[in-house]
Structure 1
Amino acid sequence: MTVTKWTAADVARKVIENQSLFILDVRNADAFQDWKIEGHQFDYLNIPYFELLDGVEGILPQIPSDKDILVVCAKEGSSIMVAEMLSEADTTLSLSYLEGGMKSWSGYLEPIKVADLSGNGELYQFVRLGKGCLSYMVISEGEAALIDAVRFTEVFTSFAQEKNVTIKHVFDTHLHADHISGGRSIAEATGATYYLPSKDAEEVVFDYTPLEDGLTVQLGASNIDVGALYSPGHTIGSTSFVVDGKYLLTGDILFIDSIGRPDLAGLADDWVGDLRDTLYRRYRGLAEDLIVLPAHFMIIDELNEDGTVAKRLGDLLADNHGLNIEDEREFRSIVTDHLPPQPNAYQQIRQVNMGKITPDYDEQTEMEIGPNRCAVR
C-alpha cells in the first residue's frame, strides 16, 4: 500500500470519534514523553528516527497489521522517510504521516457546537487538541462575541463568515501566559471592541477597553447576555463570563479536573488567597446548574463524547479535588509548593500579549510548542 498524508483535522476526527489509531512517533524520547498526540483509543511506539536510518526491519514485529498507523515527527520530513521505509518493508501496512508534524497538531482548532441559546443563538467551543486551549464564540442574530481566542485569526474570521455573523466583541479572560492571544489582532481585523481586565493590563502598550466586574454586552435583537464576573486567582485580573444565564466560562481559574495556578506572574503567594476566595466563595454562590466551560483542558479524558469540554458546576463542586480542600493552609501548600513545570516560553508569551515584542509566525509557533501547563493538579 502507498503512504498517505493525514492532516491535523483527520487526526482530530479520530480523537473526537473515539477511533483506534497506532502512532509511531519518531521524535526523541524526551520530546515524546513531554508531549504527544492523545486519543482515547490510541496506542504508541516511540523510536527516534535516527535509530531507524539503517532499516526498519527490527521494529516490524511491534507494528500492528490490523490498525491505521500514523507516523509522526516534529515537522514532517522524518515521518515521511520512516513511513516510506515501512511501506517498502511490508506492503500490507496501512501507513500515513502527519502533514506538518507536531507543529501542525499544535495549531489545529476543531469548532464544536456546545448548545443552542435563547432566540436562535448558538455557542461554539474551539478545541485546540494539541495544546489544550479552548476558545469560544457566542452567536446571536448576525452578531458574535469571542472569548479567549488563540492567535489563528483566520480560523475565527472564516467561521464568522461561514455563519454570516459580524464579530462585535472580543474578550480575553486574563493576560495569557501559555499561549499567544489572538484577541487584539481579531479585533483589529474586524473592527470589534477588544476587552482585557485592567488589573492585568498595567504593562500593555496598546489601547483596549477595560473588562470590569459586572460588564454586560448583548448580542443581536434576542439580547443574549454575556456578563463579566471578576474572579481573580490565576491572575489578579482574571474574569469569568456567564452566557445566557446557563454557561459559566471560567478562563484559567477552574478546569474540569483541576484548578488554575497562581504563579505565572511570579506572585503565587500574593494571589493564592484570591484563588481560594474565587473558588470557595464566588463560585459557590452561583447556581449549580451552570455548565462550566474552561479555557483549557489538561488530559484527553476531560473531553465528552461529542468532543466538548464541559461539566455542570455542581458536579465539579462535588468531585474536583481543588474545590474540596477544607484546610486553608493545606490549600496554600498544594497551590504554591507542588506546581508542575511552567509553560514553555511563558515569560516571552506574556511579553507578546502585552504588545512589547512582536515575534514572527515561526517564532510564535516555537514559543507555544508543548503541552498546556496552566493547572494545579
Structure 2
Amino acid sequence: MTSTTGVIAMTAKELTQIILTKEKIFILDVRNESDFNDWRIEGENTETINIPYFQLLDGVESIMEKVPVGRTLLVVCAKEGSSKYVAEQMLDAGISQVYYLQGGMKSWNEYLQPVKIGDLKQGGAIYQFVRLGKGCLSYMIMSEGEAAVIDALRMTEIFVQFAEESGVQIKHVLDTHLHADHISGGRKLAEETRATYWLPPKDADEVVFPYAKLEEGNNITIGSTAIYMEPIYSPGHTKGSTSFIVDKQYLLTGDILFIESIGRPDLAGKADDWVGDLRTSLYHRYKQLAQDLIVLPAHFGKITELGEGGKVMAQLSELYRNNAGLNIDSEEIFRIAVSENLPSQPHAYQEIRRMNMGKITTSKEEQRDMEMGPNRCAVHDN
C-alpha cells in the first residue's frame, strides 16, 4: 500500500486478499445511491455504508460516529478522486489511518486473482481466475509446458503473464458460449499467443471471424500427458452452451450451472425456446455424468459461493442436493421460474454480444463502462 498526502492507497489486489482471508474491513462508499444499490463490494467480514460524495462536500463531521474504531477504513468511489478527497477530510477530522481504493470501482471491476483448484492425475494443474468485482471466473489448465484457457476475460495480459511465470505456452483458448454480460478475451488472447480459438458453432451464426468448432467428439489434449478435455453439448443458457469434463475430475459448466443457482435462458431474447433445453441439460444430461465431478462454473452471484481461499467449486452430487434450481419437480413451475421475474438484464448486454461477435469495436474505456456492475447470468441472483 502506498501513501499520498497522508491517506493510503489500497490496490484492488490488496483488497481482494483482505476479502479472501476474511479480514474485517469497513467501507465507506461515496458513489450515488443508485450505483451503490446496483453494485457494491462485498465480503464475509465486510461492513459497508453508502453516503454520497455530494453530502460530504461541507465536511465529514456528521458521519464520524458511524465509523467503527479499530477497524480498517476504506473509502471507495467510481474512479478514485472523490474517495481520496473524502479520505483526506476524515484524516483531518482525527481518524489516524484512512485508505482509499486506487482506481476506484473501475479497478475493482478488472482485477483477477488466480487460485489453484487442484492437481491433474498425470501431472499439471488447474487454476481458477476469480474476478471478485464482477463475479466472473476463468480457467487455465496446464500440463507438460502447455496450457488451455477457458472463458478468458478481456484483461488478457493477466493470462499471458501467468502462463509465462508458470513456464507454459497457451495452445488453446475456448469459450463455453457467446457471452453477454462481459467482453470475452478469448479471440484476442488466441491472437496474442497464436493459440487455437474454439467457439460452439451454434453460438457463432453471426460471428465475423474464423474459429475452430467446439463440438462433442473434438477432445482437446493439453501436453504430452493426455489431459483430455471432453466437450459436452449442454444448451439452455445459450443455444450452443458447451461444458467440459477435464481429467475425469472437473466439470466446467460455463453459465448453465452455478453453485447456488442455474443459468438464465433469456439473454438472446429466446427464453421460451431455450427453457426446454435448459431443463434437459440440467435434469437429464448432467444427471448421467459421474456425480463426484467437481463443478467449476464461469460465474458466481454471491460472496457465499466462495469457499476456502476464494475457490468457487462444489461436487455435482452436492448441487443436486442443495441447489434450488436443480430441485423443481414440475416442468411448468421450472418454466415459470426461469422465464419470469428474472433479475434485470446485464448492463449493455446487447452491445457486449455484438462485441463478442466481432461486429463492433470499442475503446478500452468504453469496454470498462459496458461491463460496469454485477453479473446477472443466473436465475436467482438478486
Q: Is 2:367 the counterpart of 1:364? A: yes
Compute the displacement of 1:107 (Å).
0.4
Q: TM-score, normalised by structure 1?
A: 0.99
CA contact (8 A) 1:153 1:185 kept: yes
Q: Is 2:355 the counterpart of 1:373? A: no
CA contact (8 A) 1:169 1:187 kept: yes
> Partner residue of 2:301?
298
Specify the SS of the correspondent of 2:319.
Answer: helix
> Partner residue of 2:84?
80
User: Which of 256, 261, 285 pairs up with 1:258?
Assistant: 261
> Partner residue of 1:278?
281
Q: Is 2:48 the counterpart of 1:20? A: no
Separation in 2 of the partners of 1:326 and 1:67?
47
User: Which of 42, 55, 58 pairs up with 2:59?
Assistant: 55
The amino acid across from 2:24 in the alignment is S
The amino acid across from 2:51 in the alignment is I
The amino acid across from 1:306 in the alignment is G
The amino acid across from 2:82 in the alignment is S
User: Which of 202, 206, 211 pairs up with 1:208?
Assistant: 211
Alignment of 1:1-377 (within 5 A): 2-92=6-96, 94-377=97-380
Specify the SS of the correspondent of 1:87.
Answer: helix
Separation in 2 of the partners of 1:318 and 1:268?
26
The amino acid across from 1:5 in the alignment is A
The amino acid across from 2:348 in the alignment is A
Specify the SS of the correspondent of 1:70.
Answer: strand
Compute the displacement of 1:120 (Å).
2.0
Compute the displacement of 1:301 (Å).
0.3
CA contact (8 A) 1:177 1:349 kept: yes
Separation in 1 of the partners of 2:340 and 2:321?
24
CA contact (8 A) 1:141 1:222 kept: yes
Specify the SS of the correspondent of 2:164.
Answer: helix
CA contact (8 A) 1:118 1:222 kept: no
Count residues in correspondence.
376
Separation in 1 of the partners of 2:95 and 2:133?
31
Specify the SS of the correspondent of 2:183.
Answer: coil
Compute the displacement of 1:44 (Å).
1.1
CA contact (8 A) 1:76 1:97 kept: yes
Compute the displacement of 1:209 (Å).
0.5
Specify the SS of the correspondent of 1:293.
Answer: strand
Instruction: Give the gaps of 5 or more residues in structure 2.
Output: none
Separation in 2 of the partners of 1:309 and 1:239?
19
Separation in 1 of the partners of 2:263 and 2:64?
43
Separation in 2 of the partners of 1:147 and 1:328?
32
Separation in 2 of the partners of 1:292 and 1:136?
12
Percent pairwise identity: 60
Compute the displacement of 1:91 (Å).
4.0
The amino acid across from 1:164 in the alignment is G
Specify the SS of the correspondent of 1:120.
Answer: coil
The amino acid across from 2:81 in the alignment is G
